[in-house]
């Protein structure tokens, strides 16, 4: 069930330390930690939040995915780099990681390997506009569960996330 949403996302990012949202006790809250890190907390009525880490270097895409999945009942944390994602994953223990392949510094597949080596046994979804058969084989070998090409079809992406998430929100 989608969370009723009557907030407007503010872009560019407001100052660090600010929050905005609607019905933060029952709906969506966005907390701005820094220019690069934001958390969307959204709860379905009668349910609990699920932790999703999105790693995307494109600001607009990252913010859009954060808002989209936030309104679908996920607790979303975002990172712009693999290195930042490694730090955040250690702090929040996500239930699923959605990552772009091309990132500044370490790429998405390298990040998957690093998270696996650090003990994270969660599903990974890799997205990219620059996929080859070699990259897809490397991603599967690293443990990526789903590989999607950009431009993304939101319904396919959402279905993939839902099907891989280990604990679904159940209505009470």
Residue ranges and CATH numbers for the domains of the chain are 19-161 (3.40.50.2300)
**H/E element, 21:** strand 19-22
Q: How many Cβ atoms from other residues are within 10 Å of residue 38's Cβ?
A: 24
Helical H segments across the chain, by residue range: 59-70, 82-92, 108-117, 133-142, 154-164
Residue-by-residue pLDDT tens, the chain, 172 positions: 333 333 334 334 444 444 443 333 334 455 545 555 555 554 433 334 589 999 999 999 999 999 999 998 899 999 999 999 999 999 999 999 999 999 999 999 999 999 999 999 999 999 999 889 999 999 999 999 999 999 889 999 999 999 997 544 333 3
Sheet holding 38-42, edge to edge: 19-22, 28-32, 38-42, 74-79, 50-55, 96-100, 124-128, 146-149
Contact present, 141 and 115 (Cβ < 8 Å): no
CA distance 96 to 161: 8
User: What pLDDT does 165 receive?
Assistant: 79
User: What pLDDT does 26 receive?
Assistant: 38
Q: Would you call 64 exposed, middle or buried from its count of C-beta atoms within 10 A (0-12, 13-18, 19+)?
A: middle
User: What pLDDT does 130 receive?
Assistant: 86
């Amino acid at each position: 069930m989608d969370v009723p949403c009557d907030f407007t996302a503010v872009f560019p990012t407001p100052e660090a330390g600010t929050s905005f949202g609607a019905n933060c006790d029952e709906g969506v809250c966005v907390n701005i930690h820094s220019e690069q890190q934001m958390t969307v907390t959204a709860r379905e009525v009668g349910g609990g939040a699920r932790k999703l880490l999105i790693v995307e270097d494109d600001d607009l895409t990252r913010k859009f995915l954060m808002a989209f999945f936030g309104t679908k009942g996920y607790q979303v944390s975002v990172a712009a780099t693999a290195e930042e994602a490694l730090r955040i994953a250690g702090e929040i223990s996500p239930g699923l990681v959605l990552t772009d392949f091309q990132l500044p510094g370490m790429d998405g597949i390298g990040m998957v390997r690093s998270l696996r080596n650090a003990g994270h046994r969660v599903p990974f979804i890799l997205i990219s506009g620059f996929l080859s058969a070699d990259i897809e084989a490397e991603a599967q070998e690293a443990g990526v569960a789903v590989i999607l090409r950009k431009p993304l079809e939101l319904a396919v992406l959402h279905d993939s996330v839902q099907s891989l998430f280990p604990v679904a929100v159940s209505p009470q």
